[in-house]
Structure 1
Amino acid sequence: EELTIAKVVLKARRHVDKVIVCDDGSTDMTAEIAEACGAEVIRHEKNMGKGAAMQSLFRRVREGAADIIVTLDADGQHDPDEIPVLVNTMIETGADVVIGSRFLSRETTE
């Protein structure tokens, strides 16, 4: 994720108050780049998998206050500029969870 993390963090910061990254045992500069771009970084010494990374992130979020949580992959497959669409959908519909898909058009809702 070293090649994509800066773009993801910087774009996400335009739409949210705080960006938290879980560096799941990477051996490159991902964590340092994320921090330099303004993210708080949680580090796993070794790769523990996506589930463990999500658990670490949710534990950290529970320590502070957050009205809405958005998760993105650091490889750039999710566009942070879609965050407002997800958040607005949640607010407008009163949904507890909104899931975006890069495979569906914006007009598709279920």
Structure 2
Amino acid sequence: MYEKNTVYVVGNAKTNTDNAITLRFNSFYIGFVVDLKTDRIIDSSSSSTLRTTDEFIKSLLMGRSLKTFDDKLKEEVIKRYHGSSQKAIIVAYKDGVKKYNEMKKRYF
């Protein structure tokens, strides 16, 4: 399904203790499929408990770069996502950027 020039990176973050995600998964995760040639996110999924949440987060991330932290994405999450995992989305994205760059330095 994915081209050979893609990699999979997972960013993670903590959520509030009363969050359903914490109760189910203990943490919040976003999996990113990234095109190594463009550094763009071509697919993603998250450890959200609702399908709509996962799809909404995906719509925010698609086409964004994982090479550098995108402050515009952070602002868009703050403006558009009004769930208890708002901060966790931003932290997981930031963690994904960090891990992607570490992986790219090491293997590519």
Shorter-chain TM-score bucket reads 0.3 to 0.5
Could you state the TM-score of these two structures normalised by the residue count of structure 1? 0.34
Could you state the TM-score of these two structures normalised by the residue count of structure 2? 0.35
Larger Rg: 1
Indicate the structure with greater helix content: 2
